[in-house]
């Protein structure tokens, strides 16, 4: 068996990715596909933490309401992430994986409170840990929450699973001539205002020397290939690695 390039990873998934072809909500087939991809990586012995967004659920709410304060909307988004996290947890356990769900907001009947040492212990015991409710505070995105949890659990890398195959200089879904970066620095991401993650998340990664890998999670086998060290997607680091 090939040896994984990383021992512990933090996987960030968008809530919108769970919609599949729907307008909002959760597509069970997409959820199952992601669970199977995660299983192939877990079978390599890699410790996996997961943060998932809530845009698939909150979008349905925000389109039908108005006059909601930003802080209130962010708290609604935190609840949306918990719905997605619970759905992912159930799907992972249905295919035989052991999980723990931890929440940044106290929801003791549904999830454990987030405690860093406990999260690390779960990972060491081979459990997949899903981190819900973002950072627990408004005005922070789930991208920032993913990086924060990645730093706290001492992950080797933050991996952002998207529906495009890396970081581009413009939206590849709108511009067929968009250029894809094999590698790019944190500083260039900030200078070029590329939509990899929000500025807080990128800065937090840069300050803690935590690389980001951006790849297409929807391509079967991509997650495993990335973990095995193959050149999949885009690598965001402090410096460009020659020959990589």
Residue 175's pLDDT band, with cuts at 50, 70 and 90, is: very high
In whole angstroms, give the CA distance from residue 189 to residue 18: 26
For a pLDDT cut of 90, what percent of the chain falls above it?
80
In the chain, alpha helices (H): 28-42, 55-62, 70-94, 116-124, 142-152, 186-192, 199-207, 222-227
- Give me the CATH topology for the region 8-237: Carbamate kinase (3.40.1160)
Confidence class of residue 62 from pLDDT cuts 50, 70 and 90? low
What is the per-residue pLDDT for 8? 98
What average pLDDT does the structure give for the chain? 93
Residue with tokens 């021992």: 7
| pLDDT computed for residue 54 by the predictor | 93
Is 240 within 8 Å of 179 (Cβ atoms)?
no
Lowest-pLDDT range, 12-21, 44-53, 151-160?
A: 12-21
The structure's pTM equals: 0.93
Which pLDDT belongs to residue 58? 79
Please state, in angstroms and rounded to a whole number, the distance separating the CA atoms of residues 230 and 152: 26
């Amino acid at each position: 068996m090939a040896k994984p390039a990383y021992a512990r990873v933090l996987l960030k998934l968008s809530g919108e990715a769970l919609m599949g072809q729907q307008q909002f909500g959760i597509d069970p087939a997409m959820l199952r596909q992601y669970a199977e991809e995660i299983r192939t990586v877990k079978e390599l012995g890699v410790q996996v933490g997961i943060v998932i967004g809530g845009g698939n659920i909150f979008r349905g709410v925000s389109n039908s309401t108005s006059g909601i304060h930003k802080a209130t909307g962010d708290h609604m988004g935190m609840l949306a992430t918990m719905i997605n996290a619970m759905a992912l947890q159930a799907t992972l356990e249905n295919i035989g994986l052991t999980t723990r769900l931890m929440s940044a907001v106290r929801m003791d009947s549904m999830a454990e409170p987030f405690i860093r040492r406990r999260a690390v212990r779960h990972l060491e015991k081979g459990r997949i840990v899903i981190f819900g409710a973002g950072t627990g505070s408004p005005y922070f995105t789930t991208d920032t929450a993913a990086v924060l949890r990645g730093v706290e659990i001492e992950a080797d890398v933050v991996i952002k699973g998207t529906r495009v195959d890396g970081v581009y200089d413009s939206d590849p879904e709108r511009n067929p001539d968009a250029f894809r970066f094999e590698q790019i620095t944190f500083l260039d991401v900030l200078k070029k205002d590329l939509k990899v993650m929000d500025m807080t998340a990128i800065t937090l990664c840069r300050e803690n020397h935590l690389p980001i890998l951006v790849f297409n999670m929807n391509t079967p086998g991509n997650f495993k290939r990335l973990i095995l060290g193959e050149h999949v997607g885009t690598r965001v680091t402090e410096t460009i690695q020659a020959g990589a």
